[in-house]
């Protein structure tokens, strides 16, 4: 089970240091702008043929975030982070919040705003990850060659 909050609610949650923001977008998206202090653990990777699942997602989440850690998950518009919350809840994480509208906002088929994203709400953004918070730093080490 998890909750969903709009960016304003997430901004309030993140004022409490017990909450951690995990951006589940691809590394390319994360590097274009993200919530300050965010960790980047992609649910999907961007490749030549489009988006493909990140086989290391659960391993990285398990290694870096205890199942009792209070986590806010966000993505571009809220869909991937919703799926990530569902997956993590099934694996035993107990305090999960999905950021509705994500970083860029959620739109209907006609382009109307369903939920403003973090950036459109005017909250601070960052382009550089803090040390130890990029996917490069969080991904599992490569398997030893045989």
Catalytic residue list: 75
How far apart CA 36 and CA 134 sit, in angstroms, is 12
> Where are the strands (E) in the chain, listed by range?
3-5, 19-23, 39-40, 44-47, 50-53, 70-74, 95-99, 106-107, 113-115
Rg (CA), the chain: 15
Judge contact between 27 and 42, C-beta under 8 A.
yes
DSSP helix/strand/coil, 67: coil
């Amino acid at each position: 089970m998890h909750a969903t909050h709009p960016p304003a609610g997430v901004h309030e949650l993140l004022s409490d240091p017990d909450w951690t923001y995990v951006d589940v977008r691809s590394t390319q998206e994360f590097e274009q702008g993200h919530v300050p202090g965010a960790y980047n653990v992609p649910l999907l990777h961007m490749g030549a043929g489009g988006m493909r699942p990140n086989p290391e997602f659960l391993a990285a989440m398990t290694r870096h975030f205890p199942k009792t850690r209070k986590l806010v998950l966000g993505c571009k518009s809220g869909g991937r982070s919703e799926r990530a919350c569902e997956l993590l809840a099934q694996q035993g994480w107990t305090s999960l919040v999905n950021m509705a509208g994500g970083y860029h906002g959620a739109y209907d088929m006609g382009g109307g705003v369903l939920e403003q994203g973090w950036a459109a709400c005017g909250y601070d953004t960052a382009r550089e990850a803090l040390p130890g918070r990029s996917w490069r730093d969080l991904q599992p080490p490569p398997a030893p060659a045989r």
